[in-house]
Chains A and B, each alone.
Chain A
Amino acid sequence: MIRLNINGQEREVDVPADMPLLWVLRDELNMTGTKFGCGIAQCGACTVHIDGTPTRSCVTPVEAAAGTAITTIEGVQGKAAQAVQAAWQKMDVVQCGYCQSGQIMSAIALVAENQNPSDEDIDAAMDGNVCRCATYQRIRAAVKDAAKTMRA
């Protein structure tokens, strides 16, 4: 049994220690907001926060996540999360939407840390999150809008 703290709740799972956190969330706990896109840390669809740091859950063995605070898209809260989700909604960023849980998780971490990100900062923080629909222009605008909310 591995004990996990997910979105503030204690959960116990009976899985192999090397099973990636992504599959524990999706298949064992039915928390499907976190997405599978590549499985090799190349697309960011599976991004969750581990102790506040955006982390690719597809390459994070569940055992390594024990004893940490895991946050998924289903559990995000606080000023940065609200600012980011509101900006995404205001600007109708989404197309297919499949990458957007991961985009939003990365963006929350970015604006929580940097309330005035430059284009270069946004490139650096968001380049690991692929969007095949190429919603990048709106993501950039929404990140800036969320950062502005953070500054207010």
Chain B
Amino acid sequence: MLHNLIKQAAADIAVAAPSRRSVLMGGGALVLGAMLPIRVRAEDAAGPKIVGPTDPRPHAFVRIAADNTVTVLVKHLDKGQGIMTGLATIVAEELDADWAQMRGEFAPANGELYANHMFGIQGTGGSTAVTNSWDELRMAGAAARAMLVATAAQRWSVPAAEITVEKGVVKHAKSAKSATFGELAEDAAKQPVPAKVTYKDPASYSLIGNTALHRLDHISKTNGTAQFALDVRRPGQVTAVLARSPRFGGTVKSVDDKAARQVAGVIDVITLPIGVAVIAKNTWAAMQGRQALTVEWDDSKAEKRGTEQMIADYRALADKPGAKAAAKGDAAKALAGAAKVVEAEFVFPYLAHAPMEPLNATAQLTQDGGCEIWAGSQFQGVEQKVAAGVLGCKPEQVKINTLWAGGSFGRRATPDGDYIAEAVTIAKAYPKAPVHLVWTREDDIQGGRYRPLFLHRIKAGVDASGKIVGWDQRIVGQSFMAGTLFEPFMVKDGVDSTAVEGASDMAYTVPNLAVDYHLTKSPVTTLWWRSVGHTHTAYAKEVMIDQLAKAAGKDPVAFRADMLQDHPRLLGVLKLAAEKAEWSKPLPQGRFRGVAVHESFGSFVAHVAEISLNERQQIKVERVVVAIDCGQVINPDVVKAQMEGGTGWGIGHALRDQITLTDGVVDQTNFDSYEPMRMSDMPVVEVHMVPSTLRPTGVGEPGVPGAAPAVANAYFSATGKALHVLPFAGAGAV
């Protein structure tokens, strides 16, 4: 059978590993540098380069059982983006399986077998899951198919070339013999793995690109049976909540836990360097216990500024040149000679990810000094190391069970494995039982790891013919790479590439471009947030472009198209969105529209937003037309869902979300004050995909960057007012 052979595969990989590692991992050093600003360029996408190992490894990814089910081992976390479905589709296609027999299962933590080839370690992020799995899963599917065919050929004594496979049935027409995968599986597993396989011609795909396939999780997530990390129930487990400093950078000074210990159900209270852990029989008791604690915090090293002060500090920095992120031509000179100059200052607030399932993890120490973890694990490679560091064991002694994650948006992947480290630290201090650490929503909203606060100052100008001649941009904000193991790769000469991506590499034809960056520091913790740097750079760029188009007296779509002549894929989605939104036709009375186009994570997306205004001139987003080019589309409906969700995410936060601080304490606490987008805010989203057979690229993030600026541009066209400070509610536009 092809199942249960992961161990054997692991041994194979171990033998093959050194040479492969040296290629993949840059001679031993972890190539974590690829983590975020991954730009699978058009030329790479078309090229023959294989991402990852070049030999098929069916045993690592495919299990065929006697009951005729085919299970794909999914090395990436599915946090809603549909990757379990996507990766299973790739295997099923090359295997010629029937979609109904496909299953998915999260792979165990195993860096040798399941590294993300763009990270060098096991982990999910940067919209890389499909693009880095594309080759290995096509190979795995094709190899498994060849092994099934070889088995049938031997069993029936017929030439393999005469055997066909269709919808999970292996057939030999001449002898009228046929067998299911399940009937062949056990013998097929004993076949040698072919050294080379041939892929199907995309023209013959029946599952890839098929709009009728259902997601693998469409039933378990509608009847309450899908298991999330928060649903883990280990025998004898206890629940822990942690009291953390209300100010970032604060530490425990003194604790009075008498009242907390009196709370029914509270088992123990443990003061740790990370905070005060309340261990209880159940979540409610733990929360009640924490409320009864009296903790005095040492704020001597904590952030005590409010957001207003921080913005004032950023403003002062923006007056001075920063580290150079882009310097093309002479922007200052070009601007001095420009016919018209537009200046703007943009402010982007801190934002929380607030995934629907609050952060949580269960940790249980094991006899050998290691531990077992149950979590919606997104960065297995980091978490194994972090947990090993806490326990003083080897990373291999940390077993991670990955479960469905109730959203992440970047939050579950941290360079220091934050909440996993907390769970393991508490389990080490309370080794008697499995410990389930649960964050409340308040912990989450006030707990940091925010999209950083950013301030941009832009000065750009057009010449008399309406062409952009110069663009000078200063970006001020924290780097979430600084101080982490990613810093050496991501921060060069004072520039964090994730803070300037989307700005320093502007696609528009701008002959003189200067982008500077000021890296600021604060104990407030920050993190990548769905679409990372593009969350602010795309907004500033696209809103500015509309202002420049107006200054030049040009139509926003035509103005952009003129400057994208060297970027056919961006131009393609711009034209497609404009055409589908009927850009050239007038809108009904009271409707206004705006456009934005942006490349991120190797995918190209254009948004055309249509809004109306109420009597108080407040925005209602009515409709958004999205066009995307993400290469070969694996699951059209999943791509559509990600564009819908990404658009909602971008717009939802722009409307009214911000995290602010007063004297260093976060003002928002829960969904009453950090107001999520709701049903009545959601526009109709229409999605159009550019047909392509280029290497597939990600869709989890690229739907976000252009959504908010398209809405802002619609508002600009309606009112003549550009929205430079987010959220829109601040300007009374919501």
Contacts and interface: CB of A to CB of B under 8 A. Distances in A.
Interface stretch (B211-219, B296-304, B504-512): B211-219
B81 interface: yes
Contacts of A34: 224
Interface residues of A, number: 53
A20 B283 CA distance: 11
Interface stretch (B157-165, B350-358, B420-428): B350-358
B648 A27 contact: no
B584 interface: no
A41 B645 CA distance: 23
A140 B678 CA distance: 12
A39 B230 CA distance: 14
A9 interface: no
Nearest to B231: A32
Interface string A23-49: 100111010111111111011010000
A99 to B, nearest CB: 5
A132 B645 CA distance: 8
B637 interface: yes
A85 interface: yes
Interface stretch (B320-328, B363-371, B400-408, B450-458): B400-408
Nearest to A105: B224
B282 A28 contact: yes
A113 interface: no
Contacts of B356: 35, 37, 43, 45, 96, 98-99, 130-133
A41 to B, nearest CB: 9
Contacts of A134: 644-645, 647-649, 652, 677, 682
Contacts of A133: 80, 356, 407, 645, 648
Interface in A68-114: 72-74, 85, 88-89, 92-101, 104
A30 B684 CA distance: 38
B440 interface: yes
A66 to B, nearest CB: 17
Nearest to B85: A92
Interface string B222-253: 11111110110100000100000000000000
B230 A35 contact: yes
A33 B671 contact: no
A33 B648 CA distance: 26
Interface in B630-665: 637, 641, 644-645, 647-649, 652
Given A32-B230, A42-B672, A94 B217 contact: yes
A130 B218 contact: no
A39 B283 CA distance: 11
A116 to B, nearest CB: 18
Contacts of A37: 356-358, 441, 671
Nearest to A123: B680
A85 B222 contact: yes
Contacts of B677: 130, 134, 136
A126 B405 CA distance: 23
Nearest to A73: B224
A136 B682 contact: yes
A32 B404 CA distance: 14
Contacts of B670: 38-40, 42
Contacts of A127: 678-680
A42 B671 contact: yes
B394 interface: no
B355 A132 contact: yes
B79 interface: yes
A110 B406 CA distance: 25
Interface in B68-94: 79-82
B407 A30 contact: no
A94 B405 contact: no
B214 A95 contact: no
B638 to A, nearest CB: 8
A137 B406 contact: no
A38 B407 CA distance: 14
Contacts of A139: 679
A140 B283 CA distance: 33
B409 interface: yes
B233 A32 contact: yes
Contacts of A20: 284
A97 B284 contact: no
Interface in A121-149: 122-123, 126-127, 129-140
Interface string B172-188: 00000000000000000
B685 interface: yes
A19 interface: yes
Contact of A95 (B81, B228, B265): B81
A67 interface: no
Given A96-B357, A98-B406, A132 B682 contact: no
A132 B354 contact: yes
A130 B231 CA distance: 19
B358 A94 contact: no
Interface string B390-406: 00000000000000111
A92 B215 contact: yes
Contacts of A72: 224
A95 B264 contact: no
A135 B678 contact: no
Nearest to B404: A97
B221 interface: yes
A101 B678 contact: no
A100 B224 CA distance: 8
B233 A30 contact: yes
Contacts of B231: 26, 32
B222 A98 contact: no
B415 interface: no
B575 to A, nearest CB: 24
Given A85-B223, A88-B222, A89-B222, A97 B644 contact: no
Contacts of A19: 284
B674 to A, nearest CB: 10
Contacts of B215: 92, 94
Given A36-B230, A74-B224, A92 B218 contact: yes
A104 B222 contact: yes
B644 A137 contact: yes
Contacts of B685: 137
B676 A132 contact: yes
Given A35-B357, A96-B80, A130-B671, A135 B644 contact: yes
B105 to A, nearest CB: 16
A62 B367 CA distance: 39
Given A96-B405, A98-B357, A38 B441 contact: yes
A131 to B, nearest CB: 7
**Which residue, of A99, A104, A134, has the highest number of chain B Cβ atoms within 10 A?**
A134
A16 interface: yes
Given A89-B218, A135-B644, A96 B407 contact: yes
Nearest to A33: B224
A34 B225 CA distance: 10
Interface string B302-315: 00000000000000
A34 B231 CA distance: 10
**Which residue, of A19, A74, A127, A133, has the highest number of chain B Cβ atoms within 10 A?**
A133
Interface string B484-506: 00000000000000000000000
A132 to B, nearest CB: 4
Given A40-B672, A130-B671, A134-B652, 19 more contacts: A32-B233, A37-B671, A38-B441, A38-B671, A39-B287, A43-B356, A43-B441, A45-B356, A88-B218, A92-B218, A96-B404, A96-B405, A98-B356, A132-B409, A134-B649, A136-B648, A136-B678, A136-B681, A139-B679
24 contacts: A20-B284, A32-B228, A32-B233, A42-B671, A45-B356, A72-B224, A73-B224, A94-B80, A95-B82, A96-B79, A96-B357, A97-B406, A98-B80, A99-B406, A123-B680, A132-B355, A132-B407, A132-B649, A134-B649, A134-B652, A136-B648, A136-B681, A137-B684, A139-B679
Kindly list the 7 A-B residue pairs having the minimum CB-CB distance in the complex, ordered from nearest.
A33-B224, A134-B648, A98-B406, A96-B80, A97-B221, A95-B80, A73-B224
